[in-house]
Amino acid sequence: MSLLQPILDCIFGASPSTTTITNNTTASRSPESIASDIVTKILSADSPYTLHKELQDEVSTTGWTEAVAKATLQGLDNAIKAGAKMAKAAADALGQAKDAALEFSTEHPYYTTLIALGVLAVLMPWMLEVLGFGELGPIEGSFAAWWQRKYAGEIPKRALFTYFQRLGMKWHWL
């Protein structure tokens, strides 16, 4: 490597997929190699704290490029499909997230209610369509069609069915 290479890389930009800095030395590594190291660390870490530190160290020395991100996602996907067990760190992180969510919902019931209503509002058009309340009426063969048959042709004005069908017809654009 020439003495001017770092200066040229700084001016013209180095290829992030092939050049990385490790322990103040320049080494050539492919995105797949970097991703392999990241996936291995995720699958074998003992605690979320060591995992975080190891991933931070890896990403800070190699750089996080789109190619590395895609290779990492592909590696994790392959590991999950192959049935690889996640390390204790992943289970601990899930447990901590669950505990934090429960604690938040206990301490802030009004915010939790607002969040739940927001999620419900976002999911409602999808749920109405899944249940069969379509833009042009009940969808054939769906729950909504079955429910409508139960009324035997006479649906009361303020029935829950009419409310859902009206929503299904109005929220088709969401």
Burial 66-85 (b: 16+ CB within 10 A, else e): ebbeebbeebbeebeeeeee
Q: What are phi and psi of 64, to 5 degrees?
A: -105, 100
- Token pair, residue 49, equals 């704290």
Residue 131's closest CA among 143, 145, 141, 146?
Answer: 143
Q: Kind and range of the H or E element at 22?
A: strand 19-22
pLDDT tier for residue 107 given thresholds of 50, 70 and 90 = very high
Q: Show the DSSP H helices in 48-174 as ranges.
A: 48-62, 66-81, 88-107, 109-131, 143-150, 160-170
Q: What is the mean pLDDT of residues 103-131?
A: 89
Percent of the chain at pLDDT exceeding 90: 11
Query: In this predicted structure, what is the pLDDT of residue 17?
Result: 44
* Per-residue confidence (pLDDT) for residue 23, from 0 to 100: 44
31-44 vs 48-62: helix axis angle to the nearest 10?
170
Share of the chain above pLDDT 70, in %: 72
Is the pTM here over 0.85, yes or no?
Answer: no
Can you give the pLDDT at residue 53?
77
Task: For 4, list phi and psi in degrees, rounded to 5.
Answer: -85, -10
88 exposure class (CB count in 10 Å sphere: 0-12, 13-18, 19+): middle
Beta bridge partners of 19: 28
Q: Which residues contact 116 (CB under 8 A, 6 or more apart)?
A: none
| 133 in Cβ contact with 165 (< 8 Å) | yes
